Amino acid sequence: GQQLNQSPQSMFIQEGEDVSMNCTSSSIFNTWLWYKQDPGEGPVLLIALYKAGELTSNGRLTAQFGITRKDSFLNISASIPSDVGIYFCAGPPAYNNNDMRFGAGTRLTVKP
Amino acid sequence: EPEVTQTPSHQVTQMGQEVILRCVPISNHLYFYWYRQILGQKVEFLVSFYNNEISEKSEIFDDQFSVERPDGSNFTLKIRSTKLEDSAMYFCASRPGTENYGYTFGSGTRLTVV
């Protein structure tokens, strides 16, 4: 099945630090999505990317769609305690645009 | 803002019992999904549903699972004979049918099989 490899698995940072996480796949994606999941809640979309090379920001979050279309990264600048949660990359398999698969997630802990 | 609503939020059931998890997708959405997340693990695709039929299902979605859209509003996931390993959060999602960014997830049902 379609595999998304996300790293790092977890991060422990100090409030105010910047964070970077990434996602890679052996296959080409047409769309990359980044979600955040708070405890006990469903995933919430943060950023959607549709074109190779695209760089998109949402407040302190910036994500890029890799030129090869096989990777993406998410940066969070000046982290705050409410950034705590699990961040997932996701995307539809290239052979089927109707479905979406998730990476394993990056668990972010921010120490005040 | 339109929401995907899931009920119940938490269900405890005995092994071997049948459970039905309910979802009300956003009303003008055309594609519906069920995902599963075992505690501490990643979100896993179970099944997608479009035009009143299953469009794709994963290897997890075996014969004990079924989905239905009985009345044009609800979208249900039935697990026929629950096993301990079915304990997980089950998320329903829907999207308009145009672009993938339109996925909206519900808050999930936590299923505990004892």
Full DSSP string of B31-82? EEEEEEE-TTS-EEEEEEEETTEEEEE-TT--TTEEEE--SSS-EEEEESS-
Can you give the pLDDT at residue B87?
A: 97
Q: Above 60 in pLDDT, residue A1? A: no
* Low-confidence residues in chain B, pLDDT < 70: 98-102
pLDDT of A96 reads 67
- Select from B44, B45, B100 the Cβ nearest to the Cβ of A33: B100
Strand extents, DSSP E, chain A:
4-7, 10-14, 19-25, 32-37, 44-49, 55-58, 61-65, 71-76, 85-91, 101-102, 106-111
Per residue in A3-56, pLDDT (tens digit) is 789 999 999 999 999 999 999 998 888 889 999 999 888 889 899 998 899 999
Q: How far is B41 from chain A (nearest CA, A)?
A: 7
pLDDT of residue B21: 97
CB nearest A43 (choices: B41, B58, B105) = B105
| B101 contacts A48? CB cut-off 8 A | yes
Q: Which residue's structure tokens are 């999602």?
A: B93
Q: Are B77 and B67 in contact (CB under 8 A)?
A: yes
Structure tokens at A51: 């074109």
Contact A30, B96 (CB under 8 A): no
Provide the 10 A C-beta neighbour count for residue B58. 18
Task: Report the alpha-carbon angle B40-A22-A53, nearest 5.
Answer: 145
**Which two three-digit tokens encode residue B113?**
């099989």
Residue to mutate among A10, A58, A101, A106, with most B CBs inside 10 A, is: A101
Tell me: the pLDDT tens digits for A59-108?
999 999 999 989 999 999 999 999 999 999 998 866 666 667 889 999 99
